[in-house]
Structure 1
Amino acid sequence: MTCFKPLPLSLLQSALLFIAACAFSTTATAGNLVVQVLDKEGKPAPDAVVVVVPASKTAAPKNPLPSQVTIHQEKMRFVPAVSLVAVGAKAQFINNDPWEHHVRASAAGAAQFNATAGEGFELRLDGKPEGKPAKTADATFSKPGAVLLGCHIHGSMRGHVYVSDSPWAALTGADGVAQLEQVPEGAAQIKVWHADQLIDIAAQAYTVTASPGKLTLQLSVVPRRRRL
């Protein structure tokens, strides 16, 4: 009869910790993804929001979405024209123009037809006095989705804030490319949103792997040229 001598407790604990670490490293793998967004004519679409919703949440994004953002009103524009933030993010609006502006925030696109009464917010900002600090106002974006920014006085002013409930989200640059890092491996849904795309494009199924991935998505519109 063969007898086995039990392992010392400290050695047994170390072995269990090693096994657990190996298991975690196996499941908590992530990959990088490059998404190219094109307009209806096949040209790069800047300021598109790409959101990846992985089935597994075993990894954390390399660059978390901002929890605070500053949006300027200047030369009759919202700057930046599109901001991407996390749910619960706080925004500070700054009026750099010498005349009064408002900030009217409401659901954007098709979502506006499902918005409840009183949803959104309205702010008023006096014009910036010469030689004095600009006027500011604060707001919080507590609900996921696209938000349209406008001004009661100047109807041509338009901006957007996209509030993402997935931390794996990015804005496309001038080349129409969004880069997302450390996306959990496995099944995922990829959504693309653009301010001029009134009807949301259906989410696309995608499998994230450890190898760098690349995907091209196309809008059904040609975005209007932004005023400089």
Structure 2
Amino acid sequence: MNKTLISLALAALSSYATAGNLQVLVLDKEGKPVADAVVVVVPVNKGVPKAALPMQVTISQEKMRFIPAVSVVGVGAKGSFVNNDPWEHHVRASAAGIAQFSTASSGGFELRIDGKPDGKPGKAADAVFEKAGAVLLGCHIHGSMRGHVYVSDSPWALLTGADGIANLEQIPDGAAQIRVWHADQLLDIAPQQTTVSATPGKATMQLSVVPRRRRI
């Protein structure tokens, strides 16, 4: 290999060689930590995340709830919906924020899943999340059922824990944008600009609402 090719190869590798970690704290309107907020970091430079986003997720319908209530997946991920209740459920999905469910305009989908037979596994149905963004899940029969899937086109995406913190690792050094989404935040929060470096960074994002307590 000549010197020119070696130089080009080293330059290509260097664009992926440096990365840093970023801790993002999400607070509610009153300054309290928020769980299950989606934190997405979009770096300007290319890189490889420490772990890829899930491309398959299982969401159960149980006790009139979607479990987990919020999931984060990559674009094109497959969702498997399992009905563990003894009665019939539907899964109707559309882009979050639409006043009414509209599969035609939002690229959503509708599934019907029979109830779980006694002593047997729950019935299941599959769908694919093809578009980036937040997806609202509901049931035609049981209007109180709500769940969300956030489909991220950036591999640096994570849910906050009970402490309101998301730790994102191996982000390419340089300029990056932080975005936060939460199911109860109806108006988008302005993205925050940051610079990632070898020194671990921290950022705080605050919602303009106090999230409702989730039914247990």
TM, length-normalised to structure 1:
0.88
Which whole-Å CA distance do the structure 1 matches of 2:69 and 2:85 have between them?
16
Q: Secondary structure at the match of 1:117?
A: helix
Q: What is the DSSP-based 3-state SS (H/G/I as helix, E as strand, rest coil) of the residue aligned with 1:23?
A: helix
AA aligned opposite 1:61: P
Mapped pair 1:37 → 2:26 = yes
Quick one: which of 62, 81, 106 aligns to 2:50?
62
Whether contact under 8 Å (2:83, 2:89) holds in the other structure is yes
Alpha carbons of structure 1 residues 118 and 163: separation in structure 2 relative to 1, 3 Å: closer
Kindly report structure 1 stretches of 4+ aligned residues shifted beyond 3 Å.
13-26, 110-116
CA distance in 2, matches of 1:98, 1:110: 30
Whichever residue aligns with residue 128 of structure 1, its letter is K
The answer to whether the 8 A contact 2:93-2:103 is kept is no
1:154 alignment partner in structure 2: 142
> Is the alpha carbon distance of 1:180 and 1:118 closer, same or farther for their aligned partners in structure 2, counting shifts above 3 Å?
closer
Alignment of 1:45-194 (within 5 A): 45-57=34-46, 59-109=47-97, 117=105, 119-194=107-182
Judging changes above 3 Å, is the alpha-carbon distance between structure 1 residues 54 and 116 closer, same or farther for their aligned structure 2 residues? farther
Q: 1:190 to 1:226 in 2, by over 3 A?
A: same
- 1:113–1:220: structure 2 CA closer, same or farther, 3 Å change rule? farther
Instruction: Indicate if the aligned counterparts of 2:60 and 2:83 stay in contact, CA closer than 8 A.
Output: yes
In 1, are the aligned partners of 2:57 and 2:79 still within 8 Å (CA)? yes
CA distance 1:204–1:75, change in 2 (3 Å): same
Gaps of at least 5 residues in structure 2 are none
SS at match of 1:190: strand
Deviation at 1:26, TM superposition (A): 3.7
Show the counterpart of 2:194. 206
C-alpha displacement of 1:117: 2.6
Question: Between the two proteins, what is the percent identity of the paired residues?
Answer: 72
TM-score (norm 2): 0.93
Higher alpha-carbon deviation: 204-213 or 142-151: 204-213
| Structure 1 residues 77 and 22: CA distance shift in structure 2, 3 A | same
Distance 1:115 1:152 in 2: 13
**CA deviation vs aligned residue, 1:35-67 (integer Å, no higher than 9, x gap):** 00011111110000000111111x200011000
For residue 22 of structure 1, report the CA deviation from its aligned partner: 4.6
- State how many pairs are aligned: 215
Q: 2-side partners of 1:22 and 1:90: how far apart?
A: 37
Match of 1:219 in 2: 207
CA distance in 1, matches of 2:80, 2:205: 32
Provide the alpha-carbon RMSD of the alignment.
2.0
